[in-house]
């Protein structure tokens, strides 16, 4: 059974992965705090990803890393740099030193948030980050490419859209992913035999998707869910004002909000 480290294990996505991966992988969970529902049969090791020695400790002995840990919102440059940039470097470098074979990295729609909604984009477009947070996710993709090509680490970067239990407004009808679809995609990132470096979109099979996810489909991704199942209710209760700030770009209003610590993103890691 493959031994997998999940960082950010106390978050919403980490919690979903624990349920979907139970019995499939041997899991080591890590976060700055223990999950509230930690089971007796789960291994939890606390660590702050800003601490390189601590990260080396949690990576030691595992076969693969699912890196979900970090700030999941816009914040000050100092906070983003210390946690999402330096922390992500610590994870990749520790994986290399420890001999782990594979890293699945939680990137974000906000790495490409300034693309217009009128344009359907693939995973090979130039990044257009919409925030300091988006810059940190673009950095994670770039360092993943470096470690894949220079050090033969196998890397999948997933540009997660909106990983909530269900879509909550019109914009998210295009970018939402169910937890089971995201778990399927992460599982491909962990197990596909021919992976070297891939960037894919973490999105369900949404009728209104803005993304061409051919790269994920080529690896075998077959989403089971579609945000359109909620469209009738959402369009009746939470339609988007076309004149609202950010209504024309994929990052939404987030693309134009200046840093105030804790401005929420679509991602929940």
The pLDDT score that the predictor gives to residue 238 is 87
The pLDDT score that the predictor gives to residue 261 is 44
Helix pair 132-151, 86-98: axis angle to 10 deg:
20
The pLDDT score that the predictor gives to residue 257 is 75
Q: Is the pLDDT of residue 48 over 90?
A: yes
Q: Is the pLDDT of residue 246 over 60?
A: yes
Q: Is the pLDDT of residue 268 over 50?
A: no
> Could you count the other beta carbons within 10 Å of the beta carbon of residue 99?
11
Three-class secondary structure of residue 64 per DSSP: strand
The pLDDT score that the predictor gives to residue 259 is 56
Q: Is the pLDDT of residue 93 over 50?
A: yes
Task: Report how far residue 244's alpha carbon sits from residue 36's, in angstroms, rounded to the nearest whole number.
Answer: 38
Tens-digit pLDDT profile for residues 98-152:
999 999 999 999 999 999 999 999 999 999 999 999 999 999 999 999 999 999 9
Confidence of residue 207 (pLDDT cuts 50, 70, 90): very high
Confidence of residue 267 (pLDDT cuts 50, 70, 90): low
Tens-digit pLDDT profile for residues 7-27:
999 999 999 999 999 999 999
Q: Provide mean pLDDT across the span 252-265.
A: 66
Main-chain phi, psi angles of 104, to 5 degrees: -105, 120
230 closest CA partner among 183, 174, 146, 157: 174
Q: Is the pLDDT of residue 266 over 60?
A: no
Q: For residue 257, with 0-12 CB atoms within 10 Å meaning exposed, 13-18 middle and 19 or more buried, which class applies?
A: middle
Contact 187, 24 (CB under 8 A): yes
The pLDDT score that the predictor gives to residue 265 is 55
The pLDDT score that the predictor gives to residue 269 is 36
Indicate which residue of 105, 115, 133, 221 is catalytic.
Answer: 133
Task: Domain 3-264: give its CATH code.
Answer: 3.40.50.720
| Cross-strand partners of 154 | 102
Q: Is the pLDDT of residue 260 over 60?
A: no
Contact 113, 251 (CB under 8 A): yes
Main-chain phi, psi angles of 21, to 5 degrees: -100, 0
Mean pLDDT of the chain: 94
The pLDDT score that the predictor gives to residue 255 is 85
CA distances from 209 to 11, 26, 151, 171, 225 (A): 25, 34, 34, 10, 12
Tens-digit pLDDT profile for residues 148-183:
999 999 999 999 999 999 999 999 999 999 999 999
How far the first Cα of the chain sits from its last, in Å, is 25
The pLDDT score that the predictor gives to residue 106 is 98
CA distances from 165 to 38, 79, 172, 179, 203 (A): 20, 28, 12, 7, 13
Domain ranges across the chain: 3-264
Q: Among this protein's residues, is 115 annotated catalytic?
A: no
Confidence of residue 45 (pLDDT cuts 50, 70, 90): very high
Greater pLDDT, 262 or 200:
200
């Amino acid at each position: 059974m493959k031994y997998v480290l999940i960082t950010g294990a106390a978050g919403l996505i980490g919690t979903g992965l624990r349920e979907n991966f139970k019995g499939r992988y041997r899991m080591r969970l890590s976060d700055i705090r223990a999950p509230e529902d930690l089971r007796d049969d789960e291994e939890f090791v606390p660590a702050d990803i800003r601490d390189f020695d601590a990260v080396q400790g949690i990576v030691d002995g595992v076969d693969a890393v699912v890196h979900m840990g970090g700030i999941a919102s816009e914040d000050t440059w100092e906070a983003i740099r210390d946690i999402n940039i330096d922390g992500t470097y610590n994870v990749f470098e520790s994986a290399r030193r420890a001999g782990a074979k594979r890293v699945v990295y939680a990137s974000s729609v906000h790495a490409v948030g300034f693309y217009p909604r009128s344009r359907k984009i693939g995973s090979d477009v130039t990044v257009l980050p919409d925030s300091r947070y988006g810059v940190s996710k673009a950095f994670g993709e770039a360092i993943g490419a470096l470690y894949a090509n220079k050090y033969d680490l196998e890397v999948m970067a997933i540009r997660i859209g909106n990983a909530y239990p269900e879509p909550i407004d019109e914009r998210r009808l295009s970018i939402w992913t169910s937890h089971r679809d995201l778990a399927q995609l992460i599982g491909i990132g962990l197990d596909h035999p021919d992976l070297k470096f891939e960037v894919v979109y973490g999105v369900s099979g949404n009728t209104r998707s803005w993304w061409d996810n051919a790269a994920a489909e080529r690896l075998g991704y077959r989403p089971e869910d579609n945000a359109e199942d909620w469209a009738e209710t959402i369009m009746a209760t939470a339609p988007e004002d076309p004149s609202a700030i950010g209504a024309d770009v994929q990052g939404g209003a987030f693309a134009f909000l200046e840093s105030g610590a804790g401005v929420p993103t679509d991602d929940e890691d």
